Chain A
């Protein structure tokens, strides 16, 4: 057999894995409530495909082949893993049903959305929801997820196992919630996807998830808003780094280096979302990014418009992260003193102690006023970043501020940038006040 066939078979297995994994898992798991057993069966089937397809050729309906193989594995695995009989039988029936549908070329129904709602259920720890969605819908392994979330692989595995066990034991439903509950439950799903986006190594995966969510919920403006927001941020991926990997903040980026295709797609989504006349947090955040993107055409940033959007966002979310970003916009509109006053108002919030963009914004604003405390704030910000390029950037700013203790520094804070993602907070439990 030719090498080309081998490569084709491998590529096809990978394509099916990428596009079909979540669909197959959702179908199996929603009928059995046993995510772990369904994962094991599918993982075996994909491993078998990589062995067999290069030899026998890619089957005509790859998904059906996978499910028939999975079905065979379920019996073997169940014996070994002592899966309870009732669960094994349900899993077998689900695999058969799915395989039969595929064989008839009737696509198996797309239940990835139901799977996402189960994984972002309010009865699960908020911090595990994003990892769980990444694992079940995209098939990422615990090690990859753990490294993205800066967590030990064994700890991440354990937490994922525990969450799956709760889904099974407490019978968390695989269902799209009723209309009355939908907005708040959808928020949890979108939050989890945005948390995944906040992990720099998983941005492509998160965009894919947002695409799935907005495709399956075309009538949910917030799902469209989230995808628009993420595409706007993605559009700047290259412009964010200069020569030798130096960090370039949003306001100093060259707009011609932004990806016009992604911006156009984001604008289209935002337009569709706004037609529903039901604004929400993600649409507002996308609108902020849209306002920044307009600099590509106009050559200038409409800070008063951005400030207005942050005012509205602050009203909707009450989030301190938004308050930090709003202060940066306020500095651009009214100058650094009112901005510092705005930051002082939230300075007592314990969550800001390790929130890097707050310290970066505070440092820039203090430097612009010419206050000496800027140096300490830059130092805090440097100590909290995980990105070496950002660290170097902050060090340069700090040095520049010192060298001209008076005078003005053009404000282009890290906090105004795309990395001021809200991901640091939703996963954390609120301390009882």
Chain B
């Protein structure tokens, strides 16, 4: 099974964090990513730039509309993701719980729905 771990956190709070704390987060994510790699569970993953860099696109009546900002204004924002290989939901939840983002924000676990079965 493949799962996407969507990491949500309050990006304003993160931006306001002292640099020393931010610097501590990076090694935590590096270690986590290495852990996933070492277990052969890592399929993909990255950070996302903050939502002020987001653009939302819709096509209506053949016209492309582009809006500045994320699709939904939420208290916590999608800030990164991993795609992991896991035996079942328990294994995926275990990975989600180890993700540094789970300790201050939240990690949503979604099974991938492959296009071909």
CB pair B89–A172 under 8 Å, yes or no, is yes
Is B93 close to A, CB under 8 A?
Answer: yes
Kindly provide the distance from the CB of A310 to the nearest chain B CB, expressed in whole angstroms.
34
Is A123 close to B, CB under 8 A?
Answer: yes
In the complex where A123-B93, A169-B111 touch, is A84 in contact with B117 (Cβ < 8 A)? yes
Is B1 close to A, CB under 8 A?
Answer: yes
Q: For A169, what are the chain B residues with a Cβ–Cβ distance below 8 Å?
A: 111, 113
Q: Mark A10-48, 1 if CB is under 8 A from B, else 0.
A: 000000000000000000000000000000000000000
Q: Mark A174-190, 1 if CB is under 8 A from B, else 0.
A: 01010000000000000
Complex CA distance for A171 and B90, rounded to whole angstroms:
9
Q: Which of A84, A85, A86, A177 contacts B90 (CB 8 A)?
A: A177
**Residue of A with least CB distance to B2:** A171
CB pair B111–A170 under 8 Å, yes or no, is yes
Complex CA distance for A172 and B109, rounded to whole angstroms:
12
Q: Which of A84, A86, A170 contacts B89 (CB 8 A)?
A: A170
Q: For A172, what are the chain B residues with a Cβ–Cβ distance below 8 Å?
A: 88-90
Q: For A175, what are the chain B residues with a Cβ–Cβ distance below 8 Å?
A: 88, 90
Within 8 A of A (CB), among B58-117: 87-90, 93, 109, 111, 113, 117
Q: For B1, what are the chain A residues with a Cβ–Cβ distance below 8 Å?
A: 171
Is A260 close to B, CB under 8 A?
Answer: no
Task: Please classify how large the interface on chain B is, using the bins under 10, 10 to 19, 20 to 34, 35 or more.
Answer: 10 to 19
Is A126 close to B, CB under 8 A?
Answer: no
Kindly provide the distance from the CB of B84 to the nearest chain A CB, expressed in whole angstroms.
13
Q: Mark A157-172, 1 if CB is under 8 A from B, else 0.
A: 0000000000001111
**Residue of B with least CB distance to A173:** B88
Q: Which of A86, A121, A173, A177 contacts B117 (CB 8 A)?
A: A86
Q: For B117, what are the chain A residues with a Cβ–Cβ distance below 8 Å?
A: 84-86
Q: For B88, what are the chain A residues with a Cβ–Cβ distance below 8 Å?
A: 171-173, 175
**Residue of A with least CB distance to B93:** A123
Within 8 A of B (CB), among A104-134: 121, 123
Kindly provide the distance from the CB of B48 to the nearest chain A CB, expressed in whole angstroms.
24
Complex CA distance for A388 and B30, rounded to whole angstroms:
63
**Residue of B with least CB distance to A86:** B117
Kindly provide the distance from the CB of A121 to the nearest chain B CB, expressed in whole angstroms.
7
Kindly provide the distance from the CB of A425 to the nearest chain B CB, expressed in whole angstroms.
24
Complex CA distance for A121 and B88, rounded to whole angstroms:
12
Q: For A121, what are the chain B residues with a Cβ–Cβ distance below 8 Å?
A: 89
Complex CA distance for A170 and B89, rounded to whole angstroms:
6
Within 8 A of B (CB), among A58-107: 84-86
Looking at A84, A121, A170, A175, the one whose CB has the most chain B CB atoms below 10 A away is A170
Kindly provide the distance from the CB of A35 to the nearest chain B CB, expressed in whole angstroms.
14
Q: For B89, what are the chain A residues with a Cβ–Cβ distance below 8 Å?
A: 121, 123, 170-173
**Residue of B with least CB distance to A169:** B111
Q: For A177, what are the chain B residues with a Cβ–Cβ distance below 8 Å?
A: 90
Complex CA distance for A123 and B92, rounded to whole angstroms:
12
Q: For A123, what are the chain B residues with a Cβ–Cβ distance below 8 Å?
A: 89, 93
In the complex where A84-B117, A86-B117 touch, is A171 in contact with B111 (Cβ < 8 A)? yes
Q: For A84, what are the chain B residues with a Cβ–Cβ distance below 8 Å?
A: 117
Kindly provide the distance from the CB of B7 to the nearest chain A CB, expressed in whole angstroms.
18
Q: For B93, what are the chain A residues with a Cβ–Cβ distance below 8 Å?
A: 123
CB pair A173–B111 under 8 Å, yes or no, is no
**Residue of A with least CB distance to B113:** A169
Q: For B87, what are the chain A residues with a Cβ–Cβ distance below 8 Å?
A: 171, 173
Q: For B109, what are the chain A residues with a Cβ–Cβ distance below 8 Å?
A: 170
Kindly provide the distance from the CB of B13 to the nearest chain A CB, expressed in whole angstroms.
18
Chain A residues in contact with chain B, CB under 8 A? Answer: 84-86, 121, 123, 169-173, 175, 177
Among all A-B residue pairs, the 5 with the closest Cβ atoms: A173-B88, A171-B88, A171-B1, A170-B89, A172-B89
Chain B residues in contact with chain A, CB under 8 A? Answer: 1, 87-90, 93, 109, 111, 113, 117
Complex A-B: 18 CB contacts under 8 Å? A85-B117, A86-B117, A121-B89, A123-B89, A123-B93, A170-B89, A170-B111, A171-B87, A171-B88, A171-B89, A171-B111, A172-B89, A173-B87, A173-B88, A173-B89, A175-B88, A175-B90, A177-B90
